[in-house]
Structure 1
């Protein structure tokens, strides 16, 4: 059996998103697919671009700086989202490069992003990352501190459009996604960045507006 082409994998993921959305009586158009291209070079990304997809996610500022400026010159209307943890000292570079930042999770980063956006005159959409499973090794704002962090975001004039989470590995993700939905509603936020290659259909069924899919599109990382 021949391996699926990048275009076929893209079509399969889009089809699965549409199916999950319809089962939940949602419009597939309300779900944004972020193709997470971290650790993959231009040669792996280009077939997805040629297939017409234009929204990609990267984990690290430095890696994105190395490959996307050249790709953006060749492919129009590319949108780039930062989905990995952001160091405060990289805030200016992140604001310059990305159209959205999904990992706002602590006061020092809020302050750095506020200053960077004011200086650059550019305001990428922001998602506040919630440590939904209270895991010490993961980034994200503790649930109990979310209201205070959102208040800081408002004071810093960050354009917060939603919440983001990564549920604990190897457990049923649905309750964690449902908790993020509840928190977003409580704070009047429409955006829900949740769901990755293993669980994006569950996330869509529960209300995800953005799913971050890498392996299902690009294959296993080396």
Structure 2
């Protein structure tokens, strides 16, 4: 683990400082923004280094990769919280429900059905965020903008207060601010307190627009190895 320790600890300190500065500039309490350290494609040693530096919330894209890292780490860090942030297949719903504290990528009725069934089987249900495809990009996961209101209402009926908020990934070639503003407005309209938006390149902008979760990987762990 030693090769990761200093680099990850230093990067975490810089990111936390930037989060605090962005929050202060926006007139917000820095404690209103939680950092999700995105450890996807990085080895367990990198996540361990972040844990040793005080980080407790992590994001993973793939259920299988999360299953290989975090159950063992939880035995030493029981306050660890795992977010699944990637597109989720219905056949992975039960394992996702078993592993995750938060699933950020609820985006279709078939997945909602699978999560309900898995919750009954496992006797637990993680907190849920609906992923909104704010750019209506056909290659991306997320509920389309025009379907978001109806889907949110349906999920509120199904999941009650386990539905906590919304998540988005703006198009890479566009100004993210209008997308962040849309997500915040939609969350406010539905009384949802959590807004997961902003990544390594744009999280200060997301904080200015009301993000309560920012998902940061590269700025903490460096460039991702090939999947």
- TM-score when scaled to structure 2? 0.94
CA distance in 2, matches of 1:210, 1:185: 15
Return the offset for 1:63.
0.6
Aligned to 2:84: 82
Aligned to 1:207: 210
Return the offset for 1:22.
0.6
Deviates more, 1:202-211 or 1:66-75: 66-75
| Deviating 4+ runs (over 6 angstroms) | none
Q: 1:110·1:152 contact (CA, 8 Å) conserved in 2?
A: no
CA distance in 1, matches of 2:187, 2:176: 17
Aligned to 2:178: 175
CA distance in 2, matches of 1:67, 1:95: 16
Deviates more, 1:73-82 or 1:98-107: 73-82
Return the offset for 1:188.
1.3
Question: How big is each residue's C-alpha offset from its partner over 1:106-147, in whole Å with a ceiling of 9 and x where there is no partner?
Answer: 010011111111222212110000000010000000111112
**Structure 1 residue runs without a partner (length 5+):** none
**C-alpha RMSD of matched pairs (Å):** 1.3
- Number of positions where the alignment pairs a residue of Structure 1 with one of Structure 2: 220
- TM-score when scaled to structure 1? 0.96
* 1:161 pairs with one of 164, 170, 188: 164
- Matches of residues 1-222 of structure 1 in structure 2 within 5 Å? 5-157=7-159, 159-222=162-225
Q: 1:32·1:209 contact (CA, 8 Å) conserved in 2?
A: yes
CA distance in 2, matches of 1:6, 1:151: 40
Secondary structure of 2:143 counterpart: coil
